[in-house]
Chains A and B, each alone.
Chain A
Amino acid sequence: MAEDAEPALPPKRNALVGLLLASVFAVATCGLIYELLAGTIASYLLGDSITQFSTIIGTYLFAMGVGSWCSRYVRRGELRIFIRVEILVALLGGWSAAGLFVLFPLVEQFRPILYILVFAIGFLVGLEIPLLMRILRDRFDFNETVSNVLTFDYVGALAASLLFPLLLVPHLGLIRTGLMFGLINVGVALLLLALIPSRRRLMREGILGLFVAASLIAGFLFAERIQRWSEIAAYGERVIYATSSPYQRLVLTRNNDDIRLYLNGNLQFSSRDEYRYHEALVHPAMGRVARPANVLILGGGDGFAAREVFRHADVKRVTLVDLDPAMTHLFGNTSLLTMLNRNALNDPRMHVINADAFRWIRQTKDRFDVIIVDFPDPVDFSVGKLYTETFYRMLRPHLAPGGMAVIQSTSPLVAPAAFWTVAQTLEASGFNTRPYHVYVPSFGEWGFILASEQDPGATARFLPDNRFLSPDTARQALFFPPDMARRPVPVNRLDNQALVRSFADEWAKYEG
């Protein structure tokens, strides 16, 4: 019998025992769910799932061991302690998924926080079974108690391991899964509280329990907002960073050593093959200008084009105009990314301007030897205006005599009408053009168009240590097979953005 001072369950009620065993099942399921959540989130955020799952499971079980060991220090009041443990597990475990996602972009050292959280949850879960066994010890004989409790514990684990990948993550998502199981934990605590006759003694626990339950329910309802706020995409993407600037949504993903940037869901680069794209973008133009001292880059806030530009010794000044300060800040200040772009955005010769290129080009007075136009694809009318005859006409006066411009013009294989519309528009604006295309695995066939006052010609000087763009590759790039050949297309205008429409049509057909 429990002591007078401590609250205890009413004696001799079999339905109650069933309920307790059911709660063993519940807490066991929850325990495994938190472990799986931590492992899954860790492998998303940190990569390398084998290491993450191993270390998380190890830490968790170790912490459970520590918790079980510490259960000996609970001399009395097992029920009260158990209820408190449940409430704490609900709080920590329930909010663990949301918390990890939210904290990841905010903290310097994510790993220590991850392991401390896993340890804390594991510790509390480790306390649960010994305490439950002691609570039940007077209702069964010892052998039966041990057998019953551990049976339900292990069977609970099976339920978790099946539910998690098949039902919970695809339909609820990681954050809601955590919150739901937190509710189960606190539900067990509140249910037990309801059954205790001398309830008044557990007033504090009751209030705390209700408070935690309320926060979990609120979190469940607003999980969408939490997800949006922490800006992590749904199940399936290994996102390491995400943010919404006023202009666009930036998402960085990592898959082993392949780092990718998505702007509003559109791939901008893959670190594995971006050198092909950027060498092809920069060097044909740079190599056609005698002394490319003053260079303008429009777009290209990731700094990769700039990296290629700085490989030329003649370069004295690079002006980069990108709309989004979030982009240039990210690529100028994150060590992972400055390593990739060789810190081009912080080069002393670099001058970064965050402005709308359409407005900026109208008010600048500078002239440039090379103009590199690396805008995002013309997916909507706002970006589309940067591909209009009006824009190109405004660009022309800023090309110095003997200067060369190059424009990223999307895929001539997937969207040939769009590609050739850019050429047509450049020509209508008074440029002479020379198009070319290269193969970039993560994009497919991709096209660029050289533009200048004179014919850009077929030859250029190339740096000796290009990884992709040799003189031979560059020469081959000028030839277009029949399936990418030029066709009659309209000129893209501000008041009739044919490019945006043909681009959307062609990509829709391609993507089905």
Chain B
Amino acid sequence: MALGHRLRDGRFPEPSRESRIPLLIVGGGVAGLAAGWRLAEAGFRDFLVIELEDAIGGNARSGRNAVSAFPLGAHYLPLPNEEARALRHMLKQFGIITGERDGRPIYDPLQLCADLQERLLWQGRWQEGLIPRSGLTDKDRADLAAFERQISAFSTRCDASGRPAFAIPIAYSADDPDLLALDRISFAQWLEHKGWTSPILRAHVRYACRDDYGTEPSDVSAWAGIHYFASRRGFTAQGVGDNELTWPEGNGRLVRLMAAAFPNLIQTGKVAFRAQSTSSGEAAVDIFDAAADETTRLIARAAILAMPHFVSERLVKGAGGSAASHSYAPWLVANVTVERAPAGKGVQLAWDNVSASSPSLGYVVATHQNASREGPTVLTWYMPLSEMKPSSARRLLIDRTDDDWKRIIREDLLLMNPDLDGAIRSIDLWKWGHAMIRPTPGFIWTTAPAARAATKPPFFRAHSDMSGLSLFEEAHYHGVAAAEAALRHLGHKFETLI
């Protein structure tokens, strides 16, 4: 956190040396790594990726201890839609897609999330699936069914040229006016207009908004909220396609695979603090090396800024949109090492375990994909601090002591799983001050496009912030798109994957 905050305060030594490179990627998160992967895929290796932290991966970083690897943030990838061409190409290259049948991909069964995927603690019992099944009133059932129908209609809807109404990556979405109008109101307002007041439906919607966006439904645009439900059309030859790929280290698996495409071209512990165009139309990026305590000016013919907006705006003054237009959700993630896997009344332990009565989003089990279920495991517990203003929540993350946070986490876990009493070995906290962009009303279809338009060569931007949805698919898309745009700028021939 320290190096990042130093960037905010802005006191770095002036460059003491200069160097040239055809292409520079600033930022080693998913977008930056996807760009690097795309370049390597096109046969281009004359580039460098620099990353502020000591480890690459951004939100997809992972950790490991004696018991298991575990995610620090992003922990799964839903099966890509048909339109996510570049992503499917990459998964095929990694062997995650093992073949094809009738033109549809077949995924490695060992990397698909094993049954039982998710369960909900509802009225004292664990049930399969995340929507309560018992104790529903007629209104609940009616609202849930109506919501389901509406989502289904949105999911299958396409525009005149065949673009889906809600696509992933968003770039492939239709832009019909009535759909874009949904971006101007909040999801809560949209549900109000529809008259869907069932508390069960509202609770599930709130869960969804906090789960993917770290934000309450009243602050999420209706377009983004509907997108969560209506955009998933997993394209696969096996079954229904609404499953996800997951690994003990979460999306850290994908980070490792992408970085393996260009092993020696990544440098960590380096922070870029200034970026400007030179008179000859090149990009001059000043990079501070924390270990060597000196700054280098890298002159690149093209530079991809693969970082969140609140960072890039410090680099390039006026790089599209003001600070206020982009807001970020703070999260707390805890990896809890336990002696034995929890159980509970009802269905058996699932990969994703959520409690209807907890403020947290529950936990995933790091060893779920393993063949055997005995012995110690690591539970990754998630909580978006969505109930207060992001800046206040960020303060709270820092001000509240680690011991206090651990106590809160412990109590939450024991409420969900009393059988874990005495079995909690250790809790490792991970605080995300700016975990993800918040898709507030107007952001995706008004603010974000304007910000995208503001960046001009030799600079290119790649980050899920550009979409407004903090998803692997979005970061990957922008990384690939930026890499292709940069290649075009450099005059290097390639065949587009997008």
Contact = CB atoms under 8 A, between A and B. Distances in A.
Contacts of B116: 381, 497
Interface in B215-260: 238-240, 243
A390 interface: yes
A500 B116 CA distance: 11
A495 B373 contact: no
B115 A495 contact: yes
A493 interface: yes
A358 B110 CA distance: 12
B112 A495 contact: yes
Interface in B82-120: 109-110, 112-117
Contacts of A356: 371-372
Interface in A451-502: 493-497, 500
Nearest to B117: A495
A389 B239 CA distance: 13
A494 B373 contact: no
A380 interface: yes
B109 A493 contact: yes
Interface residues of B, number: 17
A358 B115 contact: no
A382 B373 CA distance: 7
Contacts of A497: 115-116
B404 interface: no
B392 interface: no
Nearest to A386: B371
Chief secondary structure at chain B's binding surface = loop
Given A381-B348, A382-B373, A493-B239, A390 B110 contact: yes
A496 B371 contact: no
A388 B374 CA distance: 20
A247 interface: yes
B115 A494 contact: yes
Interface string A350-377: 0000001011000000000000000000
A246 interface: yes
A384 interface: yes
B374 A494 contact: no
Question: Chain B CB within 10 Å — which of A246, A359, A493 has the most?
Answer: A493
Contacts of B243: 495-496
Given A381-B116, A384-B115, A495 B109 contact: yes
A500 B347 CA distance: 12
Nearest to B114: A494
Contacts of B239: 493, 495-496
A390 B371 contact: no
Given A380-B348, A381-B348, A495-B243, A246 B115 contact: no
Contacts of B240: 496
A494 B372 contact: no
Given A493-B238, A493-B239, A359 B112 contact: no
Given A390-B109, A390-B110, A494-B109, A381 B372 contact: no
Contact of A389 (B109, B348, B372, B374): B109
A495 B117 CA distance: 8
A356 B240 CA distance: 30
A238 interface: no
A176 interface: no
Contact of B110 (A246, A384, A494): A494
A385 B370 CA distance: 11
A496 B236 CA distance: 14
A261 B27 CA distance: 61
Interface in B108-157: 109-110, 112-117
Interface in B328-349: 348
Interface string B398-433: 000000000000000000000000000000000000
A40 B373 CA distance: 39
Contacts of B109: 388-390, 493-495
A246 B374 contact: yes
Interface in B59-90: none
Nearest to A358: B371
A493 B372 CA distance: 16
Contacts of A496: 115, 239-240, 243
A408 B114 CA distance: 23
A185 to B, nearest CB: 36
Most B C-beta atoms less than 10 A away, residue of A246, A381, A390, A497: A381
A500 B373 CA distance: 17
A498 B140 CA distance: 28
Interface string A378-399: 0011101100111000000000
A494 B116 CA distance: 9
B270 to A, nearest CB: 40
A381 B114 contact: yes
Nearest to B244: A495
B113 A495 contact: yes
Contact of B115 (A247, A381, A389): A381
A394 to B, nearest CB: 10
A382 B238 CA distance: 21
Contacts of A495: 109, 112-115, 117, 238-239, 243
Contacts of B371: 356, 358-359, 385
Contacts of A388: 109
A495 B351 CA distance: 11
Contacts of B348: 380-382
A293 B239 CA distance: 40
Contacts of B372: 356, 358-359, 382
Contact of B114 (A247, A380, A385, A389): A385
Interface string A305-345: 00000000000000000000000000000000000000000
Nearest to A380: B348
Contacts of A247: 374
A500 B114 CA distance: 13
Nearest to A490: B239
Contacts of A385: 114, 371
Nearest to A247: B374
Nearest to B240: A496
Nearest to A500: B115
A245 to B, nearest CB: 10
A324 B112 CA distance: 28
A82 B113 CA distance: 70
A390 B254 CA distance: 23
Contacts of A389: 109
B282 to A, nearest CB: 49
A246 B372 CA distance: 12
B51 to A, nearest CB: 34
Among B109, B110, B117, which residue has the most Cβ atoms of chain A within 10 A?
B109
Nearest to A495: B112
Contacts of B112: 494-495
Most B CB contacts (10 A, CB to CB) among A388, A389, A494 go to A494
A359 B243 CA distance: 23
A356 B110 CA distance: 16
Contacts of A380: 348
Contacts of A359: 371-372
A345 B238 CA distance: 42
B112 to A, nearest CB: 4
Interface string A385-427: 1001110000000000000000000000000000000000000
Interface in B432-490: none
A388 B109 CA distance: 10
B301 to A, nearest CB: 45
15 contacts: A358-B371, A380-B348, A381-B114, A381-B115, A381-B116, A382-B373, A385-B371, A388-B109, A390-B109, A495-B113, A495-B238, A495-B239, A495-B243, A496-B243, A497-B115
Given A495-B115, A495-B117, 12 more contacts: A356-B372, A358-B371, A358-B372, A359-B372, A380-B348, A384-B115, A385-B114, A385-B371, A389-B109, A390-B110, A495-B112, A496-B115
Interface of A: 246-247, 356, 358-359, 380-382, 384-385, 388-390, 493-497, 500
Closest 7 CB pairs of A and B: A495-B112, A358-B371, A497-B115, A390-B109, A356-B372, A359-B371, A494-B109
